[in-house]
Structure 1
Amino acid sequence: MLSFWNSLGSWGSPQQAPLLASTTPIQDFSSLAIVNRIDRWPYYQKDPAAYRAFMSDYYYFMVEGFPEPLGYVHISTVEAFPWPSFWKIDHENRFLNMSEGSTRIDRTKAMDTTLRQAFEGEDAVIRRTLYNEYLPVRSNSGEYMLDMDLAGVDLFGIVTAGVMLTAYVRTPQGPKYWVQRRSAFKPTFPNMLDTTVGSNLASGERPIDKVVLRALEEASIPEAYTRANIVACGTLTYQMVETNDGRPGSQSHTQYVYEMELAPNVIPKPSSLNNEVQKFELMGLDEVLQSLIAGEFKPNIGLTWVAYLVRHGMVNAENEPALSEICARLHRKLDFFVA
């Protein structure tokens, strides 16, 4: 399945060799099962009636004066939040309408007030800590509506974006992958396996700059090395039906995906710049796949690995009958509408 890799220098840019496609299914591994586990939001086009029935449990997050939703909020969140007076809630049509603020800054302040009251107030039902890290909220047409603290984005169901880097090293047995084990102190998915490094994209950040920064902050990989060797591999998009803490919700996400070959002497190490990484483990592909099957990876990282397998021809039309469906669902169109 994997090609033999040429030797490389002690520090310079590694030379990539192509991976060989296989016509044999990967034993005991189903890419479609991984996709089904994560991309569970129904498709309107497939069954409009079933989609409307599913959406009966969701409210449309709106901003007054704008016709299209910015996200989907589950009814359990609507019922749990102590909504400030500037929210107009239309229970019949399930519209959750922010009526405060005519500018992005004003709307951001209103959302801050909402989240702080919901998470930290005396009547708070959902207890969370604000990150003070803001993600942009945009309309379908790309209009920049407001910024929202990371702690609330999965509850409001907005479209978010992030970067994911898969780093590997050549060995005589083929490539091996540097896999991060998340810190036991992470508020989401502690102790689970992850990509080498990854992060959400905050407001105003460029994907390449963020992945370079996170490679330094999480894995102690020098910025100059990353910029010289990183390879951009496109995007994948998906929509989940639960929040990071397992509540019913909506998570629509775009991953900017990167790969980077590391020289043998470039070894990822948890950085003193943050405490988000427990350790890095060097794993062969079989170990990665078995860990995916066992559910040891952070859930959405399953799609990152399926995209990797497709990209390198290890999952292809000859060994995966559902390839067309898999590829389509790795690139779901993320838009919001009233059904």
Structure 2
Amino acid sequence: MSYLDRIRICHQWRPERYRPFLLEGDTQPLGWVGHDFAARLKDFPSAFTVTEAAVLLPARYGDFESRSAVLEEALRELHAAGEIPKWRGEDYGIGRRWGAPPLFRMERGAVPLFGVLAYGVHVNGYVMGDDGPRLWVGKRAAHKAVAPGKLDHLVAGGQPLGLSLMENVVKEAQEEASVPADLARLARPVGALRYLCEREEGLRNDVVFCFDLELPGDFQPTPNDDEVESFALWSMDQVLERIRESDDFKFNVALVNLHFALRHGMLNPDREPAYQAIVEGLQGRFED
């Protein structure tokens, strides 16, 4: 498997298997619902209008609170029936773009079933050495609902409603790696990546905000919850080899690590024939 293969995996979905999820009267989809799940939503006519062409939130729900309330009622019933496997107890704000006012809130566990735009923070914690940066690599706990046992960043997490990105970085850094708040706040925003792909949990329509956090050489991250099993400090050669030769890294973590490698000059256009394709692929552009 090549670097480009890892990127392509994050941009694979079959549009014919889905219908758009819209506010009634709009033409711009908020997300995409699989046909089987759309058929199930017909059982909730107070919350959804389901046609062969689309799933609609009725126009009579004209504000954030009314849309959120009717959705929550339906989603709780679906969870009770086992059709939303994990209820996270965390709401995402759903809208058209980052920075636009959210149109409604949605339980995180339901988000991939509607293919709506979701956000997350991914923090590459690194230590600078004579041979360049070395990355702290986390191993996800085996009981995680998504990507159990896969390799991860120092810190990463979905973006809940009501927090700024930096507030979320600080929260996740403390919870996952015992990073003190003052140190976590030194994380620098360095870009964002977007992808749309089919995963076991549903359709992932995500934007991940990337952060770099340079850490002191004597800092040792320690798991502070049950989401991370362990941390290890890897050279970038080790990271890149594992991305290239295996699928051990969580699918979106591989993208962010490649983004890091490009920015820090660990992937070189004189030595990497696919350099331009990797850069364009991280932007969601591929040649046939």
Counterparts of 1:56 and 1:39, CA distance in 2:
15
2:16 to 52, 56, 81: 56
Q: Which residue of 2 aligns with 1:10?
A: none
Q: Which runs of 4+ in 1 moved over 4 A?
A: 171-174
Question: Would you say the 8 A contact 2:42–2:50 is kept in 1?
Answer: no
1:318 to 249, 270, 274: 270
1:88 aligns with 2:49: yes
Q: Which residue of 1 aligns with 2:3?
A: 31
Deviation per CA, 1:275-329: give whole Å up to 9, x if none: 2111111222232223323111111111111111211222243233443343233
**How do 1:1-339 residues align onto structure 2 when only pairs under 5 Å count?**
30-41=2-13, 54-81=14-41, 83-86=43-46, 87-91=48-52, 94-99=53-58, 101-121=61-81, 124=82, 126-139=83-96, 142-171=100-129, 174-227=132-185, 229-240=186-197, 242-243=198-199, 246=200, 249-271=202-224, 274-292=225-243, 293-332=245-284
Question: Would you say the 8 A contact 2:41–2:50 is kept in 1?
Answer: no
Cα 1:143–1:171 change in 2 (3 A) is closer
Task: Give the number of aligned pairs.
Answer: 281
Counterparts of 1:172 and 1:74, CA distance in 2:
50
Counterparts of 1:176 and 1:117, CA distance in 2:
47
Cα 1:311–1:230 change in 2 (3 A) is same
Unaligned runs of 5+ in 1: 1-28, 42-53, 334-339
Unaligned runs of 5+ in 2: none
Question: Would you say the 8 A contact 1:82–1:117 is kept in 2?
Answer: no
SS in 1 for 2:251: coil
SS in 1 for 2:250: coil
- Larger RCO: Structure 1 or Structure 2 (Cα < 8 Å, ≥ 6 residues apart)? 1
Question: Would you say the 8 A contact 2:120–2:209 is kept in 1?
Answer: yes
Question: Would you say the 8 A contact 1:58–1:74 is kept in 2?
Answer: yes
TM-score by length of 1: 0.76
Deviation per CA, 1:214-264: give whole Å up to 9, x if none: 11111111111222x322211111111x13xx15x4322111111112112
The Cα of 1:80 is off from its aligned counterpart by: 4.6
CA RMSD of superposed structures (Å):
2.2
Cα 1:59–1:290 change in 2 (3 A) is same
